[in-house]
Amino acid sequence: MADYERIRWDVPAPGVGRVTLARADKRNAQDRRMLYEIDAAFSAAMRDDAVKVVVLAADGPDFSSGHDLRDAEPVSGFDTVTGAGGFDQPGQHGMMAGEEEIYLGLCWRWRNLPKPLIAQVQGRVIAGGLMLVWPCDLIIASDDALFSDPVVAFGVNGHEFFVHAWELGARKAKEMLFRGRFLTAQECHRLGMVNHVVSRDELEPFTMDIAKEIAERPAMGLRLAKMAVNASLDAQGQWNAVQSAFAMHHIGHANARIVHGTPIDPSGVDVVRDLAKPSD
């Protein structure tokens, strides 16, 4: 494994790899470097036959406060992985191309990785933070975990990996988006988005117990089971819906450029920042 700046990689048990977001001082806000480091670690884990399952965890009180809005590192400066281009084109073209790569493209890539991914989630998971956990196959949350996508306040339809209706059901997805408020771990468990809710103290050992149990299964069986369930979602039109919502997302950005001279409605900034303020 390479040396990472934003994440850590370890193998805490036989057959179990773990990626840990290591930017606790920023509430694990995801800049582009973090996203590419996650992708590099996932890719290396997929190539390692000794790894059967991968856990995605995070340092600090919050799993992720979402996109790092101060990040200005150009996408074209990274070794891109999805075959997209046009990142430096002017206007909405460049922004859409960049987000097709670093958000939608990476999320869909992770969703289709051949080995099980388990998200180990504590504290707040806001907007872009959901884009880290929703591509995972299982989500295990501490009882203080909170989930929100408040970016309708920016004048867009939601974050870029738009699988809200599958994760929450149509009506609860609309409420999450319309109101922008947090949903609790317990509520998300009832809705089927979260597999298990445990205390913060139990979160890591409980997750590891499940990961070790999965690692005992044949790799071929795990791969086929994941492919079969994903194929069921594909048959429901999930990918087409995600692409459509991504296009709408950029209509929202383009509209904000015309109305406000910026890709987002500036009135939404305080709404989102208030949700992400440190609570401890």
In a domain, 122, yes or no: yes
Mean pLDDT for each consecutive 10-residue tract of the chain (280 residues)? Answer: 88 98 96 97 98 98 94 90 90 95 97 98 97 98 98 96 98 97 97 98 98 98 98 98 98 97 92 76
Number of domains observed in the structure of the chain = 1
Residue 1 lies in a domain: no
- Say if 148 falls within a structural domain: yes
Asked if residue 148 lies in contact with residue 64, where contact means CB atoms within 8 angstroms, the answer is no
Domain ranges, residue 164:
7-276
CATH code of residue 162: 3.90.226.10
In the prediction, which pLDDT does 131 show?
98
pLDDT at 75: 93
pLDDT tens for each residue of 131-164: 999 999 999 999 999 999 999 999 999 999 999 9
pTM exceeds cut of 0.85: yes
Structure tokens that stand for 215 in this block: 């690692």
**What pLDDT sits at residue 207?**
98
Residue 82's pLDDT is what?
87
The answer to whether position 2 is within a domain reads no
Q: Give which of 194, 68, 189, 182 is closest to 120, Cα–Cα.
A: 194
Which of 21, 112, 10 is closest to 59 using CA atoms?
A: 21
22-43: per-residue pLDDT in tens?
999 999 999 999 999 999 999 9
| Spatial separation of the C-alpha atoms in residues 38 and 40, rounded to whole Å | 5
Q: Does 78 fall in a domain?
A: yes
Residues 6 or more apart whose CB falls under 8 angstroms from that of 62 comprise 27, 28, 122, 123, 124, 125
Distance between CA atoms of residues 21 and 54, nearest Å? 13
Task: Establish if 271 belongs to a structural domain.
Answer: yes
pLDDT at 260: 97
